[in-house]
Amino acid sequence: MKIISGSTCKALARIISYNTALEYTDSNTQHFADGELRVSISGDIAGQDIFILQSVSTPVHSRLMELLLLADACRRARARQITALLTYAAYGRQDKMYDTNGPIAAQLVSNIMEAAGIERVAILDFHASNIKTFFNIEAYNLNSAGLFKEYVNIDDDSVVVAPDFGSIERAKIFANIFNVQDTAMLEKVRDHNNKCLIKSLVGNVHNKNCIIVDDIIDSGNTICAVAELLKKHGAKKIMACATHAILSGDALENISSSPIIDKVFVTDSINNASLLANDKFHVISSAPVFIDFLNNTK
């Protein structure tokens, strides 16, 4: 059994290899002048169970293609079974048709992965639960909530906050793990410019320490808007836990400069070196989740 990493997760792959029975096997990705990718894998993988670790993050299309090429290379090298371990899977937010003639991108990507030879897939925090149904192969949703428990300070005044309806189930899981009794939810809509607008708050946050729970921080509009509303409703301390720190555009600067948001806890599902030197962000390794999965399912 061997673990191969795309260019995004080599350090994480070595940690996982050290803590499991998987042998680390190196891969190399080269670029033609026009951006076309070419991958190669070291050593003999014929007859081996192969686990490909990848973060399908920015630049999304390049990372996705790298995953597909690695899977195809393993298939052609006669690997016994190919499992994709995805710390982040782009296109998960497009799990339904948003326009009359629009695609379901999450389903298309799942089909492409299967066509490349991937026979099992494990993804850190599905954006939506229905994504599992898009796969005709075994698909595992690896929950990250337990990673945050030892880092987030919880007390009797704590309340877990879901920033929108789609985050309610995630917030309940966090509340259960943190042993927090109180939860709150906000109603969120987006305007035609994709700007987040918070319409209402359900629950009591007055004199409470709020923990905003979400799977993705992208533009940062949601976390900033939610924090402002919570503060207006009397929240004391405001923290956030998010699995995937995409942080597009000015998101990092806007969140870092916010006097309302006290701390943001994220995983290393997306490699962002600038977070390591940022006092407001705390980066948590996702390795324990993958190690636990591999030790129990290999």
Among the residue ranges 17-26, 189-198, 277-286, the one predicted with the least confidence is 189-198
At 194 the pLDDT is 57
At 245 the pLDDT is 97
- Residue 180: Cβ within 10 Å count: 20
At 196 the pLDDT is 60
pTM exceeds 0.85 for this model: yes
Question: Which residues, 6 or more positions from 102, have their beta carbon under 8 angstroms from its beta carbon?
Answer: none
Short-list 135, 125, 127, 121, CA closest to 93: 127
Length of the chain: 298
Question: Which residues, 6 or more positions from 24, have their beta carbon under 8 angstroms from its beta carbon?
Answer: 2, 3, 5, 13, 14, 17
Instruction: Tell me the chain's radius of gyration from C-alpha atoms.
Output: 20
Catalytic residues: 188
Question: Domain residues of the chain, as ranges?
Answer: 2-142+288-297, 146-267
At 244 the pLDDT is 97
Q: What is the pLDDT of residues 234-272, one digit of tens each?
A: 999 999 999 999 999 999 999 999 999 999 999 999 998
Q: What is the mean pLDDT of residues 22-41?
A: 96
Q: What is the mean pLDDT of residues 270-291?
A: 94
CATH topology of domain 146-267: Rossmann fold (3.40.50)
At 294 the pLDDT is 96
Q: CATH number of the domain at 2-142+288-297, please?
A: 3.40.50.2020
Distance CA 97, CA 103 (A): 6
Contact between 90 and 12 (Cβ < 8 Å): no
Short-list 93, 32, 86, CA closest to 64: 86
Contact between 164 and 187 (Cβ < 8 Å): yes
Fold match between 2-142+288-297 and 146-267?
yes
Contact between 214 and 167 (Cβ < 8 Å): yes
Phi first, then psi: what are they for 186, rounded to 5°? -115, 145
Distance CA 98, CA 264 (A): 30
Contact between 125 and 147 (Cβ < 8 Å): no
